[in-house]
Chain A
Amino acid sequence: MDKIVKSFKEVFRLCKMKDGMTLSFHHHLRNGDFVLNMVLAAAEKEGFKNLNIAMSSLFPVHETLIKHIKNGTVSGIDTNYMSGPLGEFISYGGMEKPVIFRSHGGRPKAIEERELLIDIAFIAAPSSDNMGNINGVKGPSRCGSLGYAFADVEYAGKTVVVTDCLVDYPNTPVSIDESKTDYVVTVDSIGDSARIVSGTTMITRDPVGLSIAKNAASVIAASGLLKNGFSFQTGAGGASLAAASYLREIMTEREITGSFCLGGITKYFVEFLNEGLFRNILDVQCFDLDAVESIASNPAHTEISASRYANPSSKSSVVDSLDTVILGATEVDKNFNVNVHTDSNNIIIGGSGGHNDAAAGAKLTIIVAPLQRGRLPIVVDKVTTLTTPGKTVDVVVTERGIAVNPLKPELAVKLSGAGLSVCSIEELKRKAVLITGSPVIKNRKTGKVVAEVLYRDSTKIDEIRGIE
């Protein structure tokens, strides 16, 4: 028996693909991914229409979706994050049906509870054998963890592995095994390795970013959570990584050993693990090659599924055991609500990813952001788009002050007691407006709905309206 299929055309026939079906993809190849574009090019050639694309995140490389939306091959998108020209296209009303935005934890929940029905899952596999035992740690397009694809293969009608590295049976280690795989398609290349690893994984050199990072680390140090067994998640943005770097100094000085690091994993977390600062890394996605090498060789660095990471319907998920998370924001409002979906012009530039999952789970959720970007204040009266509800946000850290959510008065006392510059969120806004002036607020709620924002439990918490 052999599951190798020579072409996408043949796979479409074997999977009985029809117009209107939902095809799923995962985003571990990030901005270097070729698989979505390849599959859609073949689908277009075969004349398929109205496909629904359920991809965990979409990047600038997926700009080709614009063409497929225009020619009718694609008519729906279900995703957790969207950046690049596609976001702008959607924001200007380029697609008839609203995009469905979920979170990284909300997506596996929706799949497992049959809310998001996947007809065919296409799995970008850095290595596979002929029966579809795959992993992300071998091959020219290796990306490490394949955690976001697990729910897809478990619940899809058919699972198609797409690989550019066919190895002898049995492929080891196994992330997704042959019992889930229907077909294997081999291609020349599934991705551009230079763009698979994110370009954002460098500690910032911007002095304002460093100042914010230092404040964030000081908040953690003063919170009372920083003790043996401490667990931590941060994004791969430069300021978040700088905060992690400051935290490393504090943990070393206090001789603290953490339990686990979580989230998108970078070389900095790998260094923490190797230095004995943390006992484990729980990895749903690798952001650089150091992380890929580590997950391939260090048993303490473990691949986890998106469901285990953050599914709110799981019996438990890792975010529930998280002490602290540092997250970014394009806007924060006076109720501590956070927007990471849109910019101040209402253009889609991102999405929750794991933002509202980690915020909901962590004991201490810290938002780091500069008080102003360009001429715009970041603390506003009301966020343009609601990504993460303020009740799950504990602290907003800027370069000019730290605001603690009034729901956590005991935390404010601790931070003030440690000499940190704590003020109200209104005071932060006042400081921002002193510098930027009050921007004119446009009514963003009159255009047609171009996207729906679903919270991690699938309830709709906001709509994004098109720019008129």
Chain B
Amino acid sequence: MTASHDIFSAKELIHLFIDGEITDVERGVLFNDLASSTELQEYMADAIRSNQFFEQSRNAAVPEHLHSSILSSAFGNNSSLDKLLQPTFAHLLLRYGVAASMAAAILTGGVNYQNTSPLDAPLKSENQKNMSNADGIVLQRFTNTQTHNFPEHAASVANWHVNNLNAATQQLIKSESLPNISAQDEPHISASIEKVEIINNESLSSFSVPYSSASTSSATSIYAKQTISDPKDIAVTLGGFGTSASFTFPTRLSVLRIISNELSVGLQYNARSYNIVVAKGAGIEINPMATGYEAIVQYKENSDILPLGLKPTANFAAGYSRLGPTAFMFAGVSSEIFDVVSLQTGIEGNALFYEDHSSRSVAGGLRFTINAGVQF
């Protein structure tokens, strides 16, 4: 047995001694070595100090959002979820920034208000019952943005169209035996310097991607556009309250995750009837934060190739968030009646591709939507 091996063993004994796991025999050996070795004494002093540091380190601060998430997942604690959804100062700043931009647009341009009245209450309340907690929160959160003052005649015109479409819509819902049928208010507000549009989008029926308990939805959006070239080919866009997703990872954890775009800024190029928008969305993912990018291609046929002045309309958007790629599509028809009433109806869908433990999964849904409004 060499001397170095003896010192080595003594160092091990020091750790056993500090941990209170040393035997009487080992203690005797250790103290003998300690008495004759300055190196061992220094080693022991270091070991004691680092042990004190470790003891102090035992009180790590647990992030608050984990506590809230556990409570909400285990007990369905909505108040905890509300805490999760409380906007930070930065988010409020973004929100009010968008609102200020909208106000400027309204002051300098005309106004085009489009609004669908809520569907009849029984249907809506029944659908809301079917929503998950997360959907409910998104709905509640963004419904607050619908406090518009608009002329009564505008509302009545909008109501007329929605009510006439309502019967057919309900029939459609009844005829579909789709899983997780739900509906969600999706107010959309768009604005430009020349014209301001405020559109309330009603999702009448939706279903999630099969075999996925996750779901996504298009939530409230605000959109403004400023043309910066003549002819009007290039514009700067400002958007907010865009696509949102609320879902859980069923195979991983029952932890709620919510994504919503608070603000996006982009350039828009109009190529004949095609609009191409490349935007960077500053989105929030509650638990945790994330940002993403999105590119949008919009198509609206300007010539009357369909009867009754209907124009084929389609949008497609692809994006990327930290959780994974996102996609949005809309296909339908739009029409303007006497340049006063505008209608748009079709199918829209969105999807979020994310990873769970073992594979890439998809969450999303398809919705039948109606936009109706009046321009003045």
**Binding between chains A and B:** no
